[in-house]
A = this chain, B = another copy of it.
């Protein structure tokens, strides 16, 4: 689903730089929808400042799938390559600045990479890593209790807990907001000074 062209694979920046002129920079308020659930994704989204989330609707309730922050890029690669509707929506959490790159340039960019087997391999590696990310999330759901998942989040990605409203985190962890509150209370009892 999501590809990160920058950061992890600086060797690919040479491709990315070339498309800088086609970026559309936008300043957005909080809770601004960037992609609606069920629509076909048309833009690669690069976050310059702020943060966004991917979520979907489940009988009236919003379930958050993932959070993204500055310097991260995202797009529904499946929607791009296979032209299928996006199974989730994307919206800003904080007021944010993003740069959009239209789908056609992304495909063009990937075609250029296709000329170079080395870059293409890197794309595949990225794909394998992304796949592994979701497998890890899945394994965490099967293996860990919500309390453990919260502890892991606190340990590995505390910035999420600091910046994101708690009910989004609750739905990301797969529990109700009330129960997340209980979890925090329980953990606080164990570690009084936090």
Residue from B77, B115, B125, B138 in contact with A138 in the complex, judged by beta carbons closer than 8 Å? B138
Shortest distance in angstroms between A144's beta carbon and chain B's nearest beta carbon?
A: 8
Spot the interface stretch: A6-14, A21-29, A128-136. A128-136
Asked whether, in the complex, the Cβ of A141 is within 8 Å of the Cβ of B141, the reply is yes
Q: For the complex formed by this chain, how many copies does it contain in all?
A: 2
A178 within 8 A of B: no
Q: List A54-74 residues whose CB lies under 8 Å from chain B.
A: 56, 58, 63, 65
Asked whether, in the complex, the Cβ of A115 is within 8 Å of the Cβ of B114, the reply is no
Interface string of A108-141 (1 = CB under 8 A from B): 0011001101001101110111111011111101
Asked whether, in the complex, the Cβ of B1 is within 8 Å of the Cβ of A124, the reply is no
